[in-house]
Structure 1
């Protein structure tokens, strides 16, 4: 007799053929150092797992992840768990296949003096403008790579003194679940669920983020209410330059308005030329490009979480017309808004 159980864990898996056309919105590559701390890695990847599929089948549909190690050999977590890499540590693959690279640290004996080839890889990844996330003592690895100079770093209070002595140009923070500063994320430990939820929300939409929080037994409503208390993605506070901070805040509040860069500059109490210089220094791109990316990210959320017409979304996100919006969306994400929305809903048809 056929089992009629509707329990989520008993669901049938869709065929590989049916999944071939569905591409993940969030791709993460984990680089594990020996004696890495398990808690932040498990919290982060379990958040991805719940967000990645329609239910509990653990298919990598909306989210994708791979395990790499610093030496392409099995490594052991600080708790004794052994982990085998699922793919080799390759710079070209890292650049092409992932939206974020995680460097997972743990015991300081393994991260105080990391292998030179790992430092070279991290610098190449950073130069390619791929965000890097450091868990636990992974920030020591980034410090050795020279990537923490002038940046805020969320550090565990037990290692703050040593980190500050080794990397005096870094700005240490001990009271945040995580900090993002110009493409570098640092998380001192814990479960890293806050960071995972914010990344999932950004790339996969509110529904996916909510699902992860609910099934990890996290108070999702409380998490959402407390979001503003954290240093979130695209938060103006991630930039030390006051002109850039004021400008980004103004841009975020006027995504649908036809506001000129001159008006943005006036709000930041500067002129367009100085605004341009400040953005190049802090964000490595002109203010017009940064503003367009904010608008495109907002549009992608609307495409994923609403049924609004593409023309209406284009207007709401400050584009002059749908064709202009479609052109920039495809240039930024490699597909049209229609294709993106269709792809996001394909999983609902899989049984």
Structure 2
């Protein structure tokens, strides 16, 4: 893991605590809009440690540019990259930050190729503000829904008729292609922090960014579309069934029947839309749910395993280690170690 240093040159406690739960690599385009980048990274900062020392423990981030040269925000603030544009697959998300349309209408071919390669590796990509123009130019939004700012929606629709442009939502996550039209991007930040770091970390960020208001229900401008939007109705119906039956020992035959198809067609639809067989996708949902329970409760590992549809604890531990690179016990121990360090 990359060592994060404090301002005085000493190693950050993140090094001792182990790898972070969430890593975001920002690629800043020239004339990018500062507010959505700030909203996203400040949310990560508050969720990143127990205290308020801005230590990159649970969350880490870097700022890059596509050509490794300094850029300026749309307000004129000069920004230099904090690292070179490399090792992009080490990040959980790549966030492309756009702003002034002159810089995003005609993106360089090298950047388009880079984004296509990242998508080919199934890496989630976030577009902030007008960076949606770049994703669309790369063909990554064809046949998808995208959240577009109302001021540029007409031009976007004219240029990219294969994309369903939505102006009402604060973000849309369509199978790992996430579009955010701008604003504070706090809804988006909460979504990915909750997914990777758990409810406690998400609420910590919300509490201090929204003047102490801990939300018990979705934000006012939360997306009206589901977090993951699939054009294929079979896949959408099947995933809804899977989410409602995470703890049940239900067969794929039952999933296929609910979706109104055969198991063979279900398999083909999932491979085409999610790049995973349905059984693997269902297991991924169960592991995500289990990870949240590990972070947000003190329940025994065996209980969590059974609640999330695994046959036994050993089966759950094996898959958890394969997915996240550590055992459930190690994951919890690491979190407790961080809390003691920051206590």
Partner of 1:9: none
From 7, 15, 30, the counterpart of 1:20 = 15
CA distance in 2, matches of 1:192, 1:259: 37
From 218, 225, 248, the counterpart of 1:224 = 218
From 30, 38, 42, the counterpart of 1:46 = 42
Partner of 2:295: 304
Q: Quote how far apart the aligned CAs of 1:225 are.
A: 6.6
The equivalences for 1:173-322 within 5 A come to: 173-217=166-210, 219-221=213-215, 223-224=217-218, 230-233=224-227, 235=228, 238-322=229-313
Unaligned runs of 5+ in 2: 1-7
The equivalences for 1:135-174 within 5 A come to: 135-174=128-167
Contact 1:44 1:193 in 2 (8 A): yes
Q: Are residues 1:124 and 2:117 paired? A: yes
SS at match of 1:28: strand
Deviations 1:219-241 (A, max 9, x none): 332553769754353x4xx0121
CA distance in 1, matches of 2:158, 2:9: 53
SS at match of 2:25: strand
Alignment RMSD (CA, Å)? 1.9
Q: Are residues 1:60 and 2:62 paired? A: no
Q: Are residues 1:94 and 2:88 paired? A: yes
Provide TM-score, normalisation by structure 1. Answer: 0.91
Contact 1:29 1:67 in 2 (8 A): yes
Contact 1:198 1:232 in 2 (8 A): no
CA distance in 2, matches of 1:227, 1:14: 41
Contact 2:171 2:223 in 1 (8 A): no
CA distance in 2, matches of 1:159, 1:17: 42
CA distance in 1, matches of 2:264, 2:210: 49
SS at match of 1:224: coil
Q: Quote how far apart the aligned CAs of 1:67 are.
A: 0.3
Deviations 1:103-138 (A, max 9, x none): 000001001111111111111111111100000110
Q: Quote how far apart the aligned CAs of 1:159 are.
A: 1.1
CA distance in 1, matches of 2:301, 2:192: 24
Partner of 1:7: none
Deviations 1:5-52 (A, max 9, x none): xxxxxxxx9962753232210000000000000110011100000000
Q: Quote how far apart the aligned CAs of 1:336 are.
A: 1.0
Contact 2:64 2:83 in 1 (8 A): yes
Contact 1:279 1:285 in 2 (8 A): yes
Q: Are residues 1:72 and 2:65 paired? A: no
CA distance in 2, matches of 1:303, 1:230: 29
Partner of 1:8: none
CA distance in 2, matches of 1:42, 1:172: 24
CA distance in 1, matches of 2:156, 2:111: 19
SS at match of 1:65: strand
